Amino acid sequence: MTALPGDADARVRTGIPGLDRMLGGGLPRGRPYLISGGSGSGKTLLALSFLLEGLQRGEDVLLVAADEPPGEIVENVRSFGWDLASVKTLDANPGLKAFRRTAAVQEIRTMTDLRSLRDIAEDTKRPEAVEDISIQSIHLKLRQQMAGTPFRRVVVDSMTSIRRFAVRSSNDVQAERTEIQSLLRFLAELDVTTLITVTPGDPGVLAAEEILSRGEILLTRKWIGDRSVRQIKVVRMRGCAHDPERRPFAISPQGLVVG
Ligand SMILES: Nc1ncnc2c1ncn2[C@@H]1O[C@H](COP(=O)(O)OP(=O)(O)OP(=O)(O)O)[C@@H](O)[C@H]1O
Ligand SMILES: [Mg+2]
């Protein structure tokens, strides 16, 4: 069922009230969005807040984890009092073999299929059969999972890592773009709200995810003397009036706090 504009249900709360206010109530439901920012800017924490909010609403939520091992994600956010153990996870971290390979390698390897973070955290020592992974294989697994479970929220953290490790060859830009477009199109057609984290890359390259995503939230961090200043900005948000200003935010003991 597609939510109509104006439905209370048409907006998806991010789990960060100050950001929801900037968005006029939350993210328009059922679309893919980019969360961009440099390393340490807060992308993963924002995306996990979004998943936690979904869990608290009794929704099925899915994390495609390519930046850090899922067990470490659970551990890292425990200090915020966040229990993400029931988040379903597709572990797209490249295995050790992939790190040792050269640029000519065509595929990366992953250790696990879709499992809950709780299972992975309790089971990190068991050797797993490695499996081929690529943007296409992530796409295929998402299709399989979406067919079985009505996920309402998906996070891909990060597309930058997936591209780095899963691209077929460093010169095959067009093939990579086609694969990303196909994945994003698939997500956009479903009734699922997706956050895709990216680290801004070469400004000369208009990445496929920028074209296809329905909006972008940019996180920045700069140092003024020895003080770190974090800011958040809704760069674009199609079909939704929003606060276009850059707003300060903090990472508090409870997580991200805007304003
Ligand atoms: N458990 C925690 N307690 C306190 N601060 C934390 C915690 N986890 C992360 N942080 C801080 O929050 C900031 C944002 O972290 P986050 O992992 O969300 O960044 P990121 O944008 O995803 O970075 P990267 O691109 O490297 O993955 C970092 O500066 C980090 O030091
Ligand atoms: Mg991160």
Give dist(CA 200, CA 102) in Å, integer: 24
Residue 71 alpha carbon to ligand 2 centre in Å = 14
Cβ of 160 less than 6 Å from ligand 1 = no
pLDDT score at 169: 47
Residue 7: how many other CB atoms lie within 10 Å: 11
**DSSP letter, residue 4:** P
Q: Domain residues of the chain, as ranges?
A: 8-258
Give dist(CA 191, CA 194) in Å, integer: 10
Concatenating the DSSP letter of every residue in 211-257 gives HH-SEEEEEEEEEETTEEEEEEEEEEETTS----SEEEEEEETTEEE
pLDDT score at 133: 62
Residue 216 bridge partners (DSSP): 34, 236
pTM, full prediction: 0.85
pLDDT score at 159: 87
- Three-class SS state of 47: helix
Q: What is the pLDDT along the chain (259 residues), one digit of tens a residue?
A: 444 444 556 899 999 999 999 999 999 999 999 999 999 999 999 999 999 999 999 999 999 998 888 888 888 999 999 999 889 998 888 764 444 433 333 333 444 455 666 665 554 444 443 455 678 888 888 898 888 898 999 999 988 888 777 655 456 777 777 888 888 889 888 889 999 999 987 554 556 677 777 899 999 998 889 888 999 999 999 888 999 999 999 999 989 999 8
Assigned token pair, 11: 């907006």
Residue 41 alpha carbon to ligand 2 centre in Å = 8
Cβ of 76 less than 6 Å from ligand 1 = yes
Residue 198 alpha carbon to ligand 2 centre in Å = 9
Cβ of 134 less than 6 Å from ligand 1 = no
Residue 114 bridge partners (DSSP): 90
Ligand nearest to the CA of 35: 1
Q: Which CATH superfamily is domain 8-258 in?
A: P-loop containing nucleotide triphosphate hydrolases (3.40.50.300)
* For ligand 1, mutation pick of 34, 43, 76 (most atoms within 8 Å of CB): 43
Give the number of the atom of ligand 1 that is nearest the alpha carbon of residue 199: 25
